[in-house]
Chains A and B, each alone.
Chain A
């Protein structure tokens, strides 16, 4: 219970840190970007909207900074993320609702497949130490991990999209289908999602293979595994019930570490494929200087990352009683 509370506290503190960054950054930057932007939007927006913006960007000088800060915190916590300029007067939260499913769908599927396949492959090559597969798989997939994901995306897009027309070159589904739960729409989504899926998968699978291989090698060297082997435990049982079980633990923690990288990669990949997710919206918002949208997108990415981290911590606590007892050092 103490462990859960501890992690929960960390979750709250880190979300607070993300919100605070959103508040502080525009006020720290040289040249006062907020003022420049306000001038740009003068006359293009109703006065109330301008005033709301002033409060958001800290331009309303009638209130002291600390009051502004608590106003800002309150509106963020209650989910009032402001209105987008480019899609005025659409609230930022509506745009998030629109684009979040695409990101979660693409990232979630690609990532899950990478974790499962990568971990299984890692178990396999660790057991077949020094075999051909052990030599080829880590190096081969590592090459894909070293390739910047967005560039791999560009190459695939050029080759399979523009050169051969095998796959569509942009968007999440075709113009000729109606969104909804029907076969043609789902097929179109899968068809459009395949190339980005491949890029995310290839970019992340190597880490899981190499990580699991190294963990497996550690546990395979443990005395209890050697003893079980000597006792004549069937190979399959030895691998999965004895060695892999314990080798999995560090993998669970790696999930949390890999998350930040994979989400960053996702932003770039969505841009390459014009895939209408959070990352695509974020980069477009930067280009059009849509600050409420930028802040909202950053916040949702941060909160999603932090919540997944929290879930991973909870799973880890269940898997490893030592973590629970030790409290929250890791």
Chain B
């Protein structure tokens, strides 16, 4: 991990002399040109579109139990029906909206918390840093899902929004740690000192000076937290710790489990939501791969080939054998 941080620090500290705009555009075009990232972006966008246009796409009311129960997929019911006669496809479409909003919302909130705590600690140093860093380390090592379950046990039947908020409030530590170490490497740069001397406040330095220099790290953290939040929310809902009337992929899985979908062989009930979670998470991981590679050029293929090339062919042989 320390090497990962070191690499990110290096990245952030790297091409500062170039103009911001140029760099940002090159990051974006590098992202789009990477086939992995592009695949991820396309898959994710499809789900986002489904979520946005959920009212238009869903053919029925997701809660209406007016259909034949336990029907396998057909043209009337693309994903079949539940054991109480609800249309699973409509539930799935509305679930897309819920699960994605929770994921994205939690990612934004937790990244913001991580940014504020991590960068502030890095800039201030001294005892402020020591206290915030200790807090961050404690949150980092406390088992996340167990803590979420503990909180859920006191709050009954939480809504997805509340769950997203709890996930964000407990899941910011990893980001804060990365942001802090990047900030430490930037805190004594001339442009930060200049801003300090010219009387800029902490917030201004954080957002105007530090933030533009860690865009790719922030992007990586957003993707990573979104993934974690979607998984955590679906897990909580599956365990039945979310309002059972909510529409989310995890809630569908919870109902499938309670409706004995496994035993009656209703695979159409529990396959789609899980597959959707898997697809969204894969798309996020693919994008994260690309962001990592932009942030850490060493991971790009060819580097080693070039090095061995310097030593000429004989070694290439040794490498092959």
Q: How far is the CA of A150 from the CA of B200 in the complex (A)?
A: 49
Contacts of A232 in B (CB 8 A): 318
Q: How far is the CA of A129 from the CA of B270 in the complex (A)?
A: 38
Cβ contact within 8 Å between B153 and A294:
yes
User: Which listed residue, A169, A220, A249, A297, touches B304 by the CB 8 Å rule?
Assistant: A220
Q: Is B241 an interface residue (CB 8 A)?
A: yes
Q: In angstroms, how far is the closest chain B Cβ from the Cβ of A165?
A: 12
Cβ contact within 8 Å between A14 and B282:
no
Cβ contact within 8 Å between A146 and B281:
yes
Cβ contact within 8 Å between B321 and A129:
no
Cβ contact within 8 Å between B307 and A221:
yes
Q: Is B155 an interface residue (CB 8 A)?
A: yes
Q: From A145, A148, A230, name the one whose CB has the most chain B CB atoms within 10 angstroms.
A: A148
Cβ contact within 8 Å between A18 and B262:
no
Q: In angstroms, how far is the closest chain B Cβ from the Cβ of A198?
A: 16
Q: How far is the CA of A285 from the CA of B239 in the complex (A)?
A: 12
Q: How far is the CA of A235 from the CA of B318 in the complex (A)?
A: 7
Cβ contact within 8 Å between A218 and B3:
yes
Cβ contact within 8 Å between B149 and A286:
yes
Q: Is B91 an interface residue (CB 8 A)?
A: no
Interface size class of A (residues with CB under 8 A): 35 or more
Cβ contact within 8 Å between A302 and B154:
no
Cβ contact within 8 Å between A264 and B235:
yes
Q: Which residue of A lies closest to B134 (CB)?
A: A13
Q: In angstroms, how far is the closest chain A Cβ from the Cβ of B180?
A: 10
Q: A148-B277, A162-B265 are in contact. Are A260 and B142 (CB under 8 A)?
A: yes
Q: When each residue 281-318 of chain A gets 1 if its CB lies under 8 Å from chain B and 0 otherwise, what string results? A: 01101110101001101100110011001000000000
Q: Which residue of B lies closest to A329 (CB)?
A: B133
Contacts of A253 in B (CB 8 A): 1-2
Q: Which of B85-111 contact A (CB under 8 A)?
A: none
Cβ contact within 8 Å between A294 and B150:
yes
Cβ contact within 8 Å between A162 and B263:
yes
Q: Is B145 an interface residue (CB 8 A)?
A: yes
Q: When each residue 273-289 of chain B gets 1 if its CB lies under 8 Å from chain A and 0 otherwise, what string results? A: 11001110110110000
User: Which listed residue, B142, B285, B319, touches A14 by the CB 8 Å rule?
Assistant: B142
Q: A25-B150, A253-B1 are in contact. Are A163 and B265 (CB under 8 A)?
A: yes
User: Which listed residue, B146, B235, B284, touches A263 by the CB 8 Å rule?
Assistant: B146
The stretch that binds B, out of A64-72, A153-161, A172-180, is A153-161
Q: How far is the CA of A139 from the CA of B110 in the complex (A)?
A: 27
Grouping DSSP codes into helix (H, G, I), strand (E, B) and loop, the B interface class, with mixed when no group exceeds half, is helix
Q: Is A91 an interface residue (CB 8 A)?
A: no
Cβ contact within 8 Å between B270 and A158:
yes
Q: How far is the CA of A261 from the CA of B141 in the complex (A)?
A: 10
Q: How far is the CA of A22 from the CA of B154 in the complex (A)?
A: 11
User: Which listed residue, A29, A148, A309, touches B231 by the CB 8 Å rule?
Assistant: A148
Q: Which of A245-285 contact B (CB under 8 A)?
A: 249-250, 253-254, 256-257, 259-261, 263-265, 267-268, 271, 282-283, 285
Q: How far is the CA of A217 from the CA of B297 in the complex (A)?
A: 11
Q: How far is the CA of A147 from the CA of B271 in the complex (A)?
A: 11
Q: How far is the CA of A309 from the CA of B138 in the complex (A)?
A: 11
Q: Is B245 an interface residue (CB 8 A)?
A: no
Q: In angstroms, how far is the closest chain B Cβ from the Cβ of A323?
A: 9
Q: Is B267 an interface residue (CB 8 A)?
A: yes
Q: Is B31 an interface residue (CB 8 A)?
A: no
Q: Is A330 an interface residue (CB 8 A)?
A: yes
Contacts of B56 in A (CB 8 A): none
Q: How far is the CA of A307 from the CA of B120 in the complex (A)?
A: 30
Q: How far is the CA of A69 from the CA of B305 in the complex (A)?
A: 62
Q: In angstroms, how far is the closest chain A Cβ from the Cβ of B154?
A: 4
Cβ contact within 8 Å between A146 and B278:
yes
Contacts of B307 in A (CB 8 A): 221, 226
B residues with a Cβ closer than 8 A to A are 1-4, 7, 134, 137-138, 140-147, 149-156, 174, 227, 231-232, 234-235, 238-241, 253, 257, 262-263, 265, 267, 270-271, 273-274, 277-279, 281-282, 284-285, 298-299, 301, 303-305, 307-308, 311, 315, 318-319, 321
A residues with a Cβ closer than 8 A to B are 10, 13-14, 17-18, 21-22, 25-26, 29-30, 33, 127, 129-130, 142-143, 145-148, 150-152, 154-155, 157-158, 161-163, 169, 214-215, 217-218, 220-221, 226, 229-230, 232, 235, 249-250, 253-254, 256-257, 259-261, 263-265, 267-268, 271, 282-283, 285-287, 289, 291, 294-295, 297-298, 301-302, 305-306, 309, 330
A-B contact pairs, 22 of them (CB 8 A): A30-B155, A33-B154, A127-B319, A146-B282, A148-B231, A148-B235, A151-B253, A162-B262, A169-B262, A217-B303, A249-B3, A250-B2, A250-B3, A257-B140, A261-B144, A283-B149, A294-B149, A294-B150, A298-B147, A302-B142, A305-B143, A330-B2
